[in-house]
Amino acid sequence: MTKVFMIINYITKKLNKKMKKINNIVLALVFCNLSAQINLKHISFKQKDSITDKELYKKGLIKSIEKIKPLIDGMGKAFELEKKEDIDIKIQKEVDSIVNNISQKEIDKDIRVFHFEYIDNRVLKRWETKENGEILTYPIYLDHTKGKEYYNYPRENEEEYKYSFKKIKNLHIEIIKHKTKIINGLKCLKLLVSYTEIIEAKDYPEFPEFNAPEEHIDVKLEMWVTKDIKTLYHPILKIKEVLESFYPLEINESSDAINGSIRKYTLKEIIKT
């Protein structure tokens, strides 16, 4: 019986050593994969809208403005800026001006560029500009090892904010077989994606004027994607379920939020590490 225990003990030790080696190999592969995810220095995308149905686009624009009118009225009331009637008149004038002068030429003036720049192997900076480089938004810094964002770098006792991916349902992904494209030297596959975005309800007891019900928006994406870039963070797309497998380099988006138009995102610049 003692011999049996000795044999079992010997085999156990051997197995433990073997398992330790396997664990070390697995850990090495994991860390290698994590480091491979950070293979960009800078990447930027250009956004351009194209009108496909002018009347539908106008209706969608009016609907969007009508949706935010209570918010603007609420701000005026909360901060005692102007009377509701005066605000409504100004909004209506603005709506009429936009709708009457809408054209593809005017839309082309509003091209935006979305930037990601890796500061180091832990932190990236994101911001938006016009096509001429004029700054539209102040930079936000993202620590992608923690999924936290903040407004200054280096960070010193500053409040962190959780980076949020979009909340979705009804996700459908279709790979279009036998269709490939080279974008900036990277081989890309064609992908068709559809989902329903869930915009959570807003509830502010102190400022009920800013409350909003939960909203669902149906979205369709036609994308060219690569598997050579491995990261969950993208200047445009915040759908984790897609980014776990693919990294889009070109996106055509249509949705309930932008009726009568296609929003196109194209790669402007990419600098690899």
Token digits for 189? 């596959």
- Tell me the average pLDDT across 18-30: 39
Percent of the chain with pLDDT over 90: 49
- Tell me the average pLDDT across 141-158: 87
Q: What is the pLDDT of residues 219-240, one digit of tens each?
A: 999 999 999 999 999 999 999 9
Sequence-ordered list of residues with C-beta below 8 angstroms from that of 150, at least 6 positions apart, any chain:
140, 141, 143, 158, 159, 160, 161
Task: Provide the pLDDT for residue 270.
Answer: 94
**pTM for this model (two decimals):** 0.77
Cβ atoms of 113 and 268 within 8 Å: the answer is yes
Sequence-ordered list of residues with C-beta below 8 angstroms from that of 46, at least 6 positions apart, any chain:
111, 112, 113, 131, 265, 266, 267, 268
pLDDT at 180 over 80: yes
Task: Provide the pLDDT for residue 157.
Answer: 78
Task: Provide the pLDDT for residue 183.
Answer: 95
The β-bridge partners of 267 are 45
pLDDT at 69 over 50: yes
Q: Taking the CA atoms of the chain, what radius of gyration do you get in angstroms?
A: 25
Q: What is the pLDDT of residues 237-264, one digit of tens each?
A: 999 999 999 999 999 999 988 889 999 9
Token digits for 266? 């194209």
pLDDT at 65 over 50: yes
